Structure 1
Amino acid sequence: MGKLTSTVVGTALVLASASSACAQAELFARDTFSGLVDLRLVAADGETSWIDGRVGKARFGDGHQGLRLGEAALVWNPRFSDTVSAVVVGESQDGQRHLVDLGEGYLAYRSRPGSAMRLSARAGVFYPPISLEHDGLDWSVPDTITPSAINTWVAEETKVVGVEATIRRTLAGQTFSLTAGGFKNGDTSGTELTFRGWALHDLKSPVFGRFPLPPLSPRMAVRQAPSTTPLAEIDGRVGYYGRVEWRPSSVLTFDLFGSENEGDRTSVNDYREWSWETRFWNLGMRLDLDAVAVKAQVLTGETLMGYSNALGLWADMGFEAAYVSAGKALGRGSATVRYDHFSTTDRTNKATDNNAEHGWSGLAAYRWDVKPNSQIVFEALHIDSFRRDRVRLGLAPRQSQTVLQTAFRRQF
């Protein structure tokens, strides 16, 4: 991570030196540590999961039954002053390359409250501010088990090593914010989305790990590695993103996010992983009423890779997805329902591996708050998708799958 790591460290030192030392630092106090253990009881049918090197869209498929580890995480949140802190996450997820890996690690600055203009910044390894669902401990989804297709992909292929700054201003009861970020180590973004397609699961990209790809076509198997590293830096270029948010009232929020990783398409590392040119836009909306909380996101973009031939680029893919969810406090917990729609458009070389797909999913979940720090989450997820490239693997192009999960969560 070389040069950008030096930049991140330098920015972190600037943020730290700019902060006031009036508040006593807390580095290893008890309240600077928190954690999460998530055990999972699973029953699933349908395709073999993508995590096992096939094309199933869920984390668990046929053969994945019984008790499993969903996630275990330890979060360290040291405070250096009243304006500067850090977040370091160590996590373990079943099915990953390493037993324990780094989730996120960044230094954060937040100006003191009380003024109409607020400034915040961070530098390190983190997820850009896209998801409206991941607002729990360790960037988890508190009300369900499985995030939407959009935010599943955000968790897979958009984590970055970078710097980010946000300015927030309140005027006449309305809040506006502007975020800008620069990053590296996002060159392979688009690989999973192209060769596997959309998915719905709760795995997150490990800093030092890899994700498997499904069996590639003979045309691509000699060019592309059988796995992908989410945080690979290949072409040395700096990507960027921006986000604007508008809160016209205390219950309604809109945001627009755009990202361009500036991949050069043709740089390749020693593992045969390529630099993809990936750009996308995301529009989000959140409505928090007394009885119901509604969330919705729409994402559209494209990803391109490789050299051009008579049939076009090696890979040229358009992608779109949207979801709407509604949650309601119910008894000692909350109930959530969600509908997803997703699709990809293959714009090149379709005779050898047509990666176009379209599909939908429906989810129903109930979170039972057994104790303040203990929850049981029941979830039913159904996915239906049509992907023509399944025929190459001896499968019917249309597949449907149902996954039933119970998560036993303990926070500390």
Structure 2
Amino acid sequence: MKYWVWMLCLFSSITLAAEHKVSGVVDVRASYTDGITSYVDAGLGKFRFNPNGQLSLAQGGLSYQLDWDNPLSAHVVANAYWDGVRDNIGLTEAYLKYKGLPWSNGLRLSAKIGILYPDISMENIATAWSSPYTLTYSSINSWIGEEVRHIGGQFSLEHLGKFSGSSHDFQLVAELFQNNDTTGAMISWHGWTNSSRQTLWQEKLPLSALPSLNGGSFTEQAKESDPFLELDYHLGYHVKTQWRLQGLGRVELGYYDNDVDTGLVKEGQYTWLTQFGHVGTKWRLPYHIELIAQYIKGDTSMRSLSGINVVDNDYESGFMLLSHRWQKHRISFRFENFSVTDNDLTLDDDNRENGNAVTLSYGYQLRKGWFLQAEYNRIDSTRPAREAQGYDKDLIEEQWQFASRYYF
């Protein structure tokens, strides 16, 4: 008992000596969707919200940071949603961070350990992994927010050019992780989406009523996918390199591999081997225009208990975003293209898909931290699997949104 009292007193003294920082975002949104049942609600619709209009808490994000008087800090991020589709609250990130001071030669070491996103997104840079550019994320970042997260460690080595009189910075990032063995299920079974929802750490994701999942080829598969599950205890990895021109922009290139042993299934959850490469760039152009472009290409596969490759998909997606900010205004335009190629011979599991999406967003800063934003989204996609649910395989879905977002 004395030991626990001593530990409590020690922890209290440490936290009292540290600096506490709390920030957050409250996003109240009115939306109207012209489409089919949302993928969040076990449908094959490309948007987060179900058809017709609604008023929702699209995001209630809270970020807590504890900074000690050294390079070490702790971070916890939680998100809440009350959207009439799936109302919930929970953690999305939780990690310890080390950011060392640069050495005299310009090298600096940094590290994170905990529940992390892979270091990929160029859009979702605001509080609680929100985007300052648009209300909906690109298809790449919608997928990352849904099922590409893990428990792991991230290690970064930077060379800062200013220490040698250069305007060029270089960075190498390496990540090792687990709790990602089902990553690939959602990109296969409902395809690419445009969303603004991050999967909470404790959540499971509903699967649509497809022939293969409804008495067909995958009788062992549970009705929901657990996106942050560890089944084979292999370590996955992600590596990224970045070149940055100070004050102007950057280019980065990376590769992700969850290194899963396919053919395992436990409590209705199969293991998926998911790998992809990604390239991205972000630049400040003349007239206060910002350019972001990203491209991802990879494959995912899943084997049956008998060792047959029953799902074997290639996928790719890319977008270009232009954003212009002046005074209290910001206007952003994004165009993207995406596809899934089905390479297996499982007849009742057609995952083929191709399409494009357009987003036009306008925001106005009403006062410090408070933004009003209006947005139009359009997705034109072809997915044959929709025919099994009575919809056309070729479908145009549209969405109009108006949001009041307050950052504190």
SS of corresponding position for 1:119:
strand
1:366-403 per-position Cα deviation (integer Å, ceiling 9, x unaligned) = 11111111111111000010001111222110111110
Q: Which amino acid is the alignment partner of residue 45 of structure 1?
A: D
- 1:238 alignment counterpart: 235
The whole-number CA distance in structure 2 between the counterparts of 1:201 and 1:220 is: 29
1:279 paired to 2:275: yes
1:278-300 per-position Cα deviation (integer Å, ceiling 9, x unaligned) = 00011001111242100000100
1:106 paired to 2:84: no
Following superposition, the deviation at residue 213 of structure 1 comes to 1.4
1:257-313 per-position Cα deviation (integer Å, ceiling 9, x unaligned) = 11110111112222x011100000110011112421000001000000113879x51
- 1:186 alignment counterpart: 180
- Mapping for residues 194-209 of structure 1, pairs under 5 Å: 194-209=188-203
What TM-score do the two structures reach when normalised by structure 1?
0.89
The two structures, once aligned, show a CA RMSD in angstroms of 1.9
1:55 paired to 2:55: no
Give the 3 Å change call, closer, same or farther, for CA 90–309 of structure 1 in structure 2: closer
1:295 paired to 2:292: yes
The whole-number CA distance in structure 1 between the counterparts of 2:366 and 2:282 is: 27
- 2:371 alignment counterpart: 375
1:226-253 per-position Cα deviation (integer Å, ceiling 9, x unaligned) = 2111211111111011000011453121
The whole-number CA distance in structure 1 between the counterparts of 2:151 and 2:66 is: 20
Give the 3 Å change call, closer, same or farther, for CA 211–243 of structure 1 in structure 2: same
The whole-number CA distance in structure 2 between the counterparts of 1:25 and 1:158 is: 35
SS of corresponding position for 2:66:
coil
- 1:82 alignment counterpart: 70
SS of corresponding position for 2:304:
strand
SS of corresponding position for 1:34:
strand
- Mapping for residues 302-321 of structure 1, pairs under 5 Å: 302-307=299-304, 313-321=309-317
The whole-number CA distance in structure 2 between the counterparts of 1:235 and 1:94 is: 35
Give the 3 Å change call, closer, same or farther, for CA 309–348 of structure 1 in structure 2: farther
> Identity of aligned pairs, percent?
29
Q: Which amino acid is the alignment partner of residue 26 of structure 1?
A: A
- 1:68 alignment counterpart: 56
In structure 2, list runs of 5 or more residues that go unmatched.
Answer: 1-13
SS of corresponding position for 1:206:
coil
Following superposition, the deviation at residue 119 of structure 1 comes to 1.1
1:168-206 per-position Cα deviation (integer Å, ceiling 9, x unaligned) = 003432110000010000111100000101111011121
What TM-score do the two structures reach when normalised by structure 2?
0.90
1:213 paired to 2:207: yes
Contact in 1 for aligned 2:264/2:305 (Cα 8 Å): no
Following superposition, the deviation at residue 167 of structure 1 comes to 0.4
SS of corresponding position for 1:352:
coil
The whole-number CA distance in structure 1 between the counterparts of 2:200 and 2:368 is: 29
SS of corresponding position for 1:138:
helix
- 1:366 alignment counterpart: 362
The whole-number CA distance in structure 1 between the counterparts of 2:65 and 2:343 is: 45
Work out the number of aligned pairs and report it.
385
